[in-house]
């Protein structure tokens, strides 16, 4: 099967019945990977110490505070500071990764324990997901084509406004900047998520919707679990997509975003409103297939990330073949 064909395997989009509530979306957690326990916490603590040291060096050299979304021309220098430090290679060894792949981690300061999917089931009325741990360094290696025993889990959402728009974002940061994508991110394994005291939707609401877009509970009218998409292009794993309906119009949603003070606002440079009745037109104009992680992507190369296209297609209700027909060979 060609790389392009693999993107459109039947499991690429699984639509749940309309109106499936977050309370019908459950999860379980296991610390073990193939029966073994990997020292994820120790690895993150060591990498955090390295990050603080790099931050001090960065401040001394540039006179600025380290901001992962605003490294600009210094990004190469910062990467080298991580890659050449023995502690970075030690973290790779702790995670049972090959240190020879260290320079494939293009965001070496990304230091989170997130979720790997061990199992997914839907019985017609509720969804159950079994989760295990993975480190953000593993996620980056998978993006570079390294085979690892993980299935990266992310969460995303489409915001539907009262005046008929679906809202997505124009990405900033170091991962696929200046591309279109939904409000989304890796499902981080918080202590409350592991214990079951909070849900996957709770994490999305606080960690993505509020942190990146500035939308809080009071602005949400209705929430449903829309779909499970499987991204074979970037993270090689599933994204659980929520549909967030708000009584706010787009201009008010945009104002909430612009007044947001959270550092994760930098994940996007601005919000993009798409008329609900023109979603397929937007996809046709901006979807290509595989996108390169270009740091200097030009404005006329603003394309739609593959998982974002799957999420929009799952909302619009069109068959997967519609997206497959738009696929173009190459790395855009």
Asked if residue 316 and residue 266 are part of one domain, the reply reads yes
Task: Say if 182 falls within a structural domain.
Answer: yes
Task: Say if 331 falls within a structural domain.
Answer: no
Asked if residue 315 and residue 172 are part of one domain, the reply reads yes
Domain boundary among 104, 135, 151: 104
Digit-coded pLDDT (tens) for 171-220: 998 899 999 999 999 999 999 999 999 999 999 999 999 999 999 999 99
The overall average pLDDT reported for the chain is 96
Asked if residue 75 and residue 202 are part of one domain, the reply reads no
At 50, is the pLDDT very low, low, confident or very high (cuts 50, 70, 90)?
Answer: very high
Q: What integer pLDDT is reported at residue 169 of this predicted model?
A: 97
Return the higher-pLDDT residue of 35 and 79. 79
Find the domain containing 318 and state its range. Answer: 3-32+114-324
Asked if residue 151 and residue 61 are part of one domain, the reply reads no
CATH of the domain at 235: 3.90.79.10
Task: Say if 330 falls within a structural domain.
Answer: no
Angle in degrees, CA 238, 130, 210, rounded to 5: 60
Digit-coded pLDDT (tens) for 96-119: 999 999 999 999 999 999 999 999
At 78, is the pLDDT very low, low, confident or very high (cuts 50, 70, 90)?
Answer: very high
Asked if residue 288 and residue 139 are part of one domain, the reply reads yes
Task: Say if 198 falls within a structural domain.
Answer: yes
Task: Say if 293 falls within a structural domain.
Answer: yes
CA separation for the pair 68, 70 (Å, rounded): 6
Asked if residue 185 and residue 94 are part of one domain, the reply reads no
Q: What integer pLDDT is reported at residue 2 of this predicted model?
A: 65
At 33, is the pLDDT very low, low, confident or very high (cuts 50, 70, 90)?
Answer: confident
Asked if residue 202 and residue 66 are part of one domain, the reply reads no
Digit-coded pLDDT (tens) for 84-100: 999 999 999 999 999 99
Domain boundary among 71, 86, 104: 104
Nearest to 82 by CA among 59, 64, 58, 61: 58
Task: Say if 154 falls within a structural domain.
Answer: yes
Q: Which residues pair with 188 in a beta bridge?
A: 114
Mean pLDDT of 18-47: 94
The two three-digit tokens of residue 238, written as one number: 């599933």
Domain boundary among 59, 77, 104: 104
Task: Say if 332 falls within a structural domain.
Answer: no
Asked if residue 309 and residue 270 are part of one domain, the reply reads yes
Instruction: Count structural domains, the chain.
Output: 2
> In this model, does residue 1 exceed pLDDT 60?
no
Is pTM beyond 0.75? Reply is yes
Digit-coded pLDDT (tens) for 159-171: 999 999 999 999 9
Asked if residue 77 and residue 26 are part of one domain, the reply reads no
CA separation for the pair 238, 229 (Å, rounded): 5
Task: Say if 109 falls within a structural domain.
Answer: no
CA-based end-to-end distance of the chain? 21
Q: What integer pLDDT is reported at residue 174 of this predicted model?
A: 82
Asked if residue 44 and residue 28 are part of one domain, the reply reads no
Share of the chain above pLDDT 90, in %: 95
Identify whether the C-beta of residue 186 lies closer than 8 Å to the C-beta of residue 152.
Answer: yes
Task: Output b/e per residue, 51-65; b: 16+ Cβ within 10 A.
Answer: beebbeebeeeeeee
Task: Return the percent helix, strand and coil in the chain, to nearest 5.
Answer: 40, 25, 35
What CA–CA distances, in Å, run from 300 to 37, 252, 286? 47, 28, 10
Share of the chain above pLDDT 70, in %: 99
């Amino acid at each position: 099967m060609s790389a392009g064909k693999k993107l459109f395997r039947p499991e690429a989009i699984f639509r749940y019945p309309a109106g499936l509530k977050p309370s019908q979306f459950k999860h379980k957690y296991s610390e073990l990977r193939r029966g073994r326990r990997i020292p994820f916490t120790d690895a993150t603590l060591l990498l955090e110490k390295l990050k603080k040291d790099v931050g001090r060096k960065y401040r001394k050299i540039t006179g600025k505070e380290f901001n992962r979304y605003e490294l600009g021309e210094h990004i190469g220098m910062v990467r080298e500071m991580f890659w050449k430090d023995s502690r970075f290679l030690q973290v790779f060894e702790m995670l049972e990764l090959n240190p020879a792949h260290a320079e494939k981690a293009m965001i070496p300061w990304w230091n989170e324990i997130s979720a790997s999917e061990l199992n997914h089931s839907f019985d017609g009325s509720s969804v159950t997901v079994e989760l295990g741990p993975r480190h953000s360094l593993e996620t980056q290696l998978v993006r570079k084509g390294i085979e690892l025993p993980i299935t990266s889990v992310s969460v995303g959402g489409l915001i539907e406004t009262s005046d008929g728009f679906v809202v997505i974002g124009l990405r900033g940061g170091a991962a696929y900047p200046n591309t279109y994508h939904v409000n989304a991110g890796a499902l981080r394994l918080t202590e409350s998520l592991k214990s079951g005291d909070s849900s996957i939707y709770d994490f999305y609401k606080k960690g993505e919707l509020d942190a990146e877009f500035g939308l809080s509970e009071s602005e949400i009218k209705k929430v449903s679990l829309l779909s499970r998409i499987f991204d074979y292009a970037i993270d090689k794993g599933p994204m659980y997509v929520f549909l967030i309906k708000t009584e706010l119009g787009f201009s008010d949603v945009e104002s909430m975003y612009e007044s947001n003070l959270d550092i994760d606002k930098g994940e996007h440079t601005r919000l993009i409103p798409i008329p609900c009745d023109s979603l397929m037109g937007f996809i046709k104009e901006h979807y290509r297939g595989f996108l390169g992680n270009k740091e200097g992507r030009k404005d006329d190369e603003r394309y739609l990330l593959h998982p974002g296209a799957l999420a929009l297609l799952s909302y619009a209700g069109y068959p997967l073949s519609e997206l497959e027909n738009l696929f173009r060979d190459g790395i855009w």
